[in-house]
Structure 1
Amino acid sequence: MLKGSKVGLRARHEDDVPILQAELYDDVVTTSRANGKPWRPITPGSKKTQFLVDDEDQVNIQFSVVDLEHGTLLGGAQLWGIDPHNRAAHIGMGLRPSARGQGYATDVVSVLCHYGFVIRGLNRLQIETLADNAAMLRCAERNGFVREGVLRSSAWVMGEFLDEVLLGLLVQDWKQTAQE
């Protein structure tokens, strides 16, 4: 398990999947805002859920997020789109409704940065989020991510186009932030 100050990132357990499916994916608005694809119903127990982990996949690494104090499942996190040639990847996460607004997201991003930079040897991590996602923007910037651009009207979400913000962090900037 990878540990932060409040959260642990561990392998996905089979009994995590129905909880994440029910509380994250089955919430149409949350999924529509996070996924970039139109929501569609998925049968409970389906092997098509995004929360099942393919242990052979080296491009998308998924974790379950747990509270270190109690071991409670808080959500999911991932490094996705890992590009070994350019040594870059994207960060993503989803927290259960009961875990939001408690500072867990900032710690999750911190642990994912450690994993990406130290364990995977990456040079760049990137986050894309909707421009109105103030919580994600705050936690990214607290971890040293820099706003690099806005993709205007690039995301179709619940009947309207929304802007996305692109944030990046380079390993040398992360090292400096970590030492301060």
Structure 2
Amino acid sequence: MPGPTFLEGDRVTLRVPDETDLTFLLEHENDPDVRATRSVSLPKGPDDVRRRFGGTLGRNDDTLALVVHADGAPESEATDSPDDSAADRVGHVYLLRERPNDRTYRRAELAYWVAPDEQGNGYATDAARTVLDHGFDRLGLNKVTAEAFASNEASARVLEKLGFAEEGVFREEAFVGGEFRDVIRFGLLADEWRDIER
């Protein structure tokens, strides 16, 4: 069975990761197509993934790390592997509070990925919207930032749909796939979030 529900969106349910999510997270976080959209350059192993079990990154209890499940998909399928117990997993969403003063400044960073076969279905937008509601309304955040490679137009569209404003470009900030890439930073303030019609 998948981990407990933590938040529910319109199209997705965000669940606390547990041992049944290990294979899904390992497979996709090491997938070249997923890694190409993120700043992760080293392989992820079981211990890296297990640090997220319980819904945090294991370094800071203020950080959320949740598995995205598509609503309306079957909860489980008969299988020989307990790691495949939920066929509706589609991605992972984070609300990171790992930098010094994040709590004091009431800020966080939004990050997410969706499995390549599930992209284009609105799951990233709904998962991000759901954690932003939680961050601004329940955690009292004042600002949430996010970053996307300049070449990742799909992620930039998600952020723009959610009301994020582009705050700047970090030129050749990341080295991914054998080339330097520009990183665009986005920001969203609590007052802006509350003014958006959703």
Q: TM > 0.5 between the two? A: yes
Greater Cα shift, 96-105 or 147-156: 96-105
Pick from 8, 31, 38 the counterpart of residue 35 of structure 2: 31
Q: 1:89 to 1:9 in 2, by over 3 A?
A: same
Greater Cα shift, 55-64 or 121-130: 55-64
**Alpha-carbon contact 2:174-2:183 (below 8 Å) kept:** yes
Pair 1:77 & 2:93 matched: yes
SS of equivalent to 2:25: helix
1:37 positional shift: 4.0
1:41 positional shift: 6.2
CA distance in 1, matches of 2:10, 2:48: 33
1:20 positional shift: 1.6
Q: For residue 24 of structure 2, what is the aligned residue in structure 1? A: 19
**Alpha-carbon contact 1:32-1:39 (below 8 Å) kept:** no
Q: 1:112 to 1:26 in 2, by over 3 A?
A: same
Deviations 1:23-44, CA, capped at 9 Å, x for gaps: x22213522531x2422363xx
**Alpha-carbon contact 2:19-2:53 (below 8 Å) kept:** no
Q: 1:162 to 1:17 in 2, by over 3 A?
A: same
After superposition, the CA RMSD in angstroms is 1.9
- Map 1:25-64 to 2 at 5 A: 25-34=29-38, 36-40=39-43, 42=45, 46-49=46-49, 52-53=52-53, 57-64=60-67
**Alpha-carbon contact 2:34-2:116 (below 8 Å) kept:** no
**Alpha-carbon contact 2:135-2:141 (below 8 Å) kept:** yes
Which letter does structure 1 place at the counterpart of 2:69?
Answer: V
Paired residue total: 174
**Alpha-carbon contact 1:126-1:169 (below 8 Å) kept:** yes
**Alpha-carbon contact 1:2-1:111 (below 8 Å) kept:** yes
Which letter does structure 1 place at the counterpart of 2:7?
Answer: L
**Alpha-carbon contact 2:167-2:186 (below 8 Å) kept:** yes
Deviations 1:74-132, CA, capped at 9 Å, x for gaps: 11111112511000000011111221111111111111110110111100001011011
Q: Tell me the TM-score normalised to structure 2 length.
A: 0.80
Pair 1:157 & 2:176 matched: yes
Q: For residue 129 of structure 2, what is the aligned residue in structure 1? A: 110
Greater Cα shift, 141-150 or 57-66: 57-66
Q: For residue 140 of structure 1, what is the aligned residue in structure 2? A: 159
CA distance in 2, matches of 1:133, 1:51: 27
Q: 1:51 to 1:93 in 2, by over 3 A?
A: farther
Q: For residue 66 of structure 1, what is the aligned residue in structure 2? A: 69
Q: Which runs of 4+ in 1 moved over 2 A?
A: 36-42, 48-57
CA distance in 1, matches of 2:40, 2:69: 27
1:167 positional shift: 0.4
Runs of at least 5 residues in structure 2 that lack an aligned partner in the other structure:
1-5, 76-87
1:152 positional shift: 0.7
CA distance in 1, matches of 2:112, 2:50: 12
Which letter does structure 1 place at the counterpart of 2:31?
Answer: D
Aligned sequence identity (%): 28
Q: For residue 118 of structure 2, what is the aligned residue in structure 1? A: 99
